[in-house]
Amino acid sequence: MSDAYRIIMHETGGTDVLTVEDFNPRGPGPGEALVKQAASGLNFIDTYFRTGLYPVKLPFVQGSEGAGTVEAVGEGVTHVQPGDRVAYLGSGTYATHFTGPAASMVKLPDGISEEEGAAVLLKGLTAWMLLFEIRPITDRDTVLIWAPVGGVGSVLTPWAASLGARVIAVTSTEEKAEKAKALGASDVVVGYDDVAKKVRALTGGTGVDVALDSVGKRSFEASLSSLRKRGWMISYGNASGAPDPMPPGRLAAGGSLILTRATLFNYIDTPEDLARGARHLFAAMDRGTFGADIGQRFSIKDAAKAHAALESGTTSGATILVP
């Protein structure tokens, strides 16, 4: 396929390491499917791979999620067939074509486009993990959500609110604060100074039941200090860098706090768990709880610009790359 191309990196570093390369898509082997992609999702984990925060074997094709139409399937594949519209998680989705495990692919229901599937699958499954799988959120909870209008946050905030939880959001600007309120946040802290003090004031000094933190180094201590006794902190991202090491005694001093560093792939490591999470996600979208919220579109060939925009904090909602 002479028109096929992908984004590859031969070294880690800045956005300039992302280069365009022509390639011949590989035919599917046993258990695999070949997909002509309509869109690839952009996620913060992609920047971690690019910078070397998460080590990868080089050369490395970027991209962690995508969607498109199945062109061919390998031996033993039965749950997807050529012509099916699918979304999937996998390594190497910054490309016009993707060949990978069919077990990581889910059919897109009617009413959800390929672009929406690429924009929402990884982020939506992450939100599902945070709300239902680690420490299930109920209508008795007050939840602190950082980056409430970002890729994950724009799904997480309305979904948490739909469960009856009180959502306190932390964001950087008044404009994003208004969007967070529109998504369902009850209260919004604007700026990153004295966050825990402000959260305590909003909760009558008690603190929140759960802190959902994707920011990392900049927010870590503020999240811990915002928790009530026996509260849960779920760290799931490092947008501002990896947090500093912390002695376990800090959790005891805070009131027998519970801390976990979650990663989605430990919660969808079987086809059954992936399918279960996708059913929850697509059902919530069908009910109108949230949408894909595509805030930005870039050409796949402009992946470097997309990374720069994401890291600058100027994006909102999901960002997708299209051929």
CATH class name, domain 123-264: alpha beta
Q: What is the CA radius of gyration of the chain?
A: 20
Identify the pLDDT of residue 315.
Answer: 86
d(CA 254, CA 110): 48
Q: What is the pLDDT of residues 124-175, one digit of tens each?
A: 999 999 999 999 999 999 999 999 998 899 999 999 999 999 999 999 999 9
Q: What is the 3-state secondary structure (H, E, C) of 204-254?
A: CCCCEEEEEECCCCCCHHHHHHCEEEEEEEEECCCCCCCCCCCCCHHHHHC
Angle in degrees, 0-180, between the axes of helices 44-51 and 303-312, rounded to the nearest 10: 110
Q: How many CA atoms lie within 13 A of 11 on its CB side?
A: 4
Specify the pTM: 0.88
Spell out a b/e string for 88-115, using b for 16 or more CB atoms within 10 Å of the CB, else e: bbbebbbbbbbbbbbbbbbbbeeebebb
Fold of 5-112+292-322: Quinone Oxidoreductase; Chain A, domain 1 (3.90.180)
With a cut of 70, list the residues of the chain below it in pLDDT: 1-2
Q: Tell me the DSSP string of 128-150.
A: HIIIIIIS---TT-EEEEESTTS
DSSP H/E element including 301: none
- Rounded to whole angstroms, the Cα distance separating 292 from 319 reads 10
* Sequence spans of domains, the chain: 5-112+292-322, 123-264
**Which pLDDT belongs to residue 2?**
60
Answer left, alpha or beta for residue 94, where phi above 0 means left and psi between -120 and 50 means alpha: beta
Three-state DSSP at 195 gives: helix
Closest C-alpha among 277, 252, 282 to residue 267? 277
Distance set, CA 188 to CA 168, 197, 215, 271 (Å): 6, 13, 16, 37
Sheet holding 208-213, edge to edge: 187-190, 166-171, 142-146, 208-213, 227-235, 258-261
**Residue 272, SS3 per DSSP:** helix
- Predicted pLDDT at 152: 92
Helices (H), the chain: 44-51, 114-128, 153-162, 174-183, 195-202, 220-225, 249-253, 271-286, 303-312
